[in-house]
Amino acid sequence: MQSLIILLKKHTKLKDIQLEIPPSPDLGDYAFPCFQLAKKFKKSPAEIATDLAKKIKPPKEIERILPNGPYLNFFLNKNTQSQKVLQRILKEKDKYGSSSNSESFMVEFSGPNPFKAFHVGHLRNTVLGESLVRILKFYGFKVLSVNYLNDTGTHVSKSIWGLENLNLKQKGDPGEFLGEIYSLASKKIKTKAQEAQVQEIHKQIETKNPKYLKLWKAGIKDSLTYFNKIYKDLDVTFDKVYYDSQYINEGKAVVDRLLKKKIAKKDKGAILVNLEKYKLNKVLVLKSDETALYITKDLAMAMDRLNKYKINRLIYVVGSEQKLHFQQIFKILDLLKFKQAKKCFHLSYELVMLPEGRMASRKGRVVTYSELKEELMDKIQKEVNKRHSKWSKSRKQKAVDSIFSSTIRFDMLKQGPEKIITFDPKRAMSFEGDTGPYAQYTHARICSILRKESPKKADLKLLTTQEESALIQKLSTFPDTLKRAAEDYKPYLIANYILELCHLFNEFYHKYPVLKATKNLKQARLNLINATKIVLKIALNLLAIKAPEEM
């Protein structure tokens, strides 16, 4: 496929070539849409396709090139293609598709708030960020993964108010208990007097009042312990954790710098940056009482990161409601002459919904990670017991853990982040349909076949059926899918690739025997399914999903 891209770049002078898979094998193995060339060549896409078909001399791996309306269709030499693709996969093994790149990234993700519950909305952020980090690393980029914890917001003061006024006894996990306190306190705080009490607590923490500082530190510690248990469950690690409280003074220094460079100006005691000419509104960066805002601290943090780590790109995995906030940050960094500003990126994602509507910890209708895990583990355990009643306890638990890893991730990753998700645990844990367990079961099925007989050297030219060719073609597209997922920050491309690969394998497997085939054909097919297993395992690992050998 790479040779085809190089060929098209040579004849079209385009920097980026996007190939498509035709809807029917009769239309070829790959299609190149010529629409984008119409303006350049001042011809219709159909005319351009016809001209290119005449000009391009097919290399040996391409059997023929035919125009089809606005598309240029390529038919591969099946024998040559099968051998090259499978030999490469079997040689490179778990490095297939990986690359080497010089750019360095920092990816900020997860960001649950201390003193609040870790819910399934945080889960979407965390699995999205972790998969992006893995994809970027596998593609060859240097990546620092970081977490950011807001330990100074109003939610902290509300939770401490709740600890003082609600007279509730701690039960269960201390960190999760704090989340319950926050939810209940938010409901109780209704009067101006109560709001004033919350503000007073906030001031007492800032001025380091011993009583409230002790409560604050204890709450942060309990929250971190709570979060770290979840990260261990999710197989997520961070290179560094940032805290909002670390950048209060640094944020004010940034404001001074903005004033000196005349990027910001005073307005009735407050300090503003006017971004109206960029259609980004006026930005308040410091209140009249000299209180720092979120954007003040975020600017200081971004500048610190860019200066300290010399990174090329800074990616924030944060909800879509923060779109304007990050546009403003990136523009101010640009005005401060940070070259990386134009390469900063806000990977936004939409809400996770419950059947009764939007999740909101203020209303106490949140589904916490712990509740979700308990529900899923119970259902998965019952399913595994039903399927494998004779397995040992440890063997069953290994299967349960594997299925849990895919259930909580795949349903959130298979959809683009711009889509609102209604998370349905029952659907997500199904062994059938477009689910993580379905993909894992496919991997386990291949492992089961290979346990019965290992592949030996084979004549790969024997793989000639339409199903075998389609499977090999899909295997050949993995490096390009990985490239697009890494360069466009789209983990869902890997999830969708996994589903398509599994569908093609299962279509092949249901139609053709592997172990019952003739000797030479059997060996060719064993090599094919071994290559499929290798690529499927790589792809699952990129999404932090376990690839079990039995289920």
Strand 264-267 to strand 270-274: parallel, antiparallel, or no bridges (unpaired)? antiparallel
In a 13 Å sphere around the CA of 523, the CA atoms on its Cβ side amount to: 8
CA dist 211 and 101 (Å) reads 51
Residue 411 to residues 111, 376, 401, 420, 445, Cα–Cα distance (Å)? 21, 13, 17, 12, 21
Distance of alpha carbon 429 from alpha carbon 407, whole angstroms: 5
Residues 156 and 220: their CA atoms lie apart, in Å, by 9
What is the structure's pLDDT at 362?
46
- Which pLDDT belongs to residue 291? 83
Asked if 355 and 422 count as a contact pair (C-beta separation under 8 A), the reply is: yes
Give the full edge-to-edge strand order of the sheet including 352-354: 357-358, 352-354, 421-422
Name the CATH superfamily housing domain 2-76: Arginyl tRNA synthetase N-terminal domain (3.30.1360.70)
Tens-place pLDDT, residues 104-128 = 999 999 999 999 999 888 999 999 9
DSSP of 245-308: GGGHHHHHHHHHHHHHTTSEEEETTEEEEE-GGGTS-EEEEE-TT--B-HHHHHHHHHHHHHHH
Question: Domain limits of the chain?
Answer: 2-76, 387-542
> Is 234:147 a contact under the CB 8 Å cutoff?
no
Tell me what pLDDT residue 26 has. Answer: 87
In whole angstroms, give the CA distance from residue 268 to residue 158.
30
Q: How many whole angstroms separate alpha carbon 319 and alpha carbon 124?
A: 10
| Residue 494 neighbours by CB distance under 10 Å | 25
Q: Is 493 exposed, middle or buried (0-12, 13-18, 19+ CB in 10 A)?
A: buried
Select from 33, 39, 29, 28 the least CA-distant residue to 17.
33
Residue bearing tokens 């690739």: 497
Hey, is 226 helix, strand or coil?
helix
Give the predicted TM-score (pTM) of the model: 0.90
CA dist 315 to 17, 309, 332, 362, Å? 25, 14, 16, 28
* Residue 75, strand partner residues: 64
CA distance 231 to 544: 12
Q: Which helix (H) or strand (E) holds 357?
A: strand 357-358
Q: Tell me how far apart the alpha carbons of residues 104 and 419 are, in angstroms, rounded to a whole number.
A: 28
The top-level CATH class assigned to 387-542 is mainly alpha
CA angle 184, 189, 190 (to 5 degrees): 130
Mark the ranges of the chain whose per-residue pLDDT is less than 70.
1, 354-366
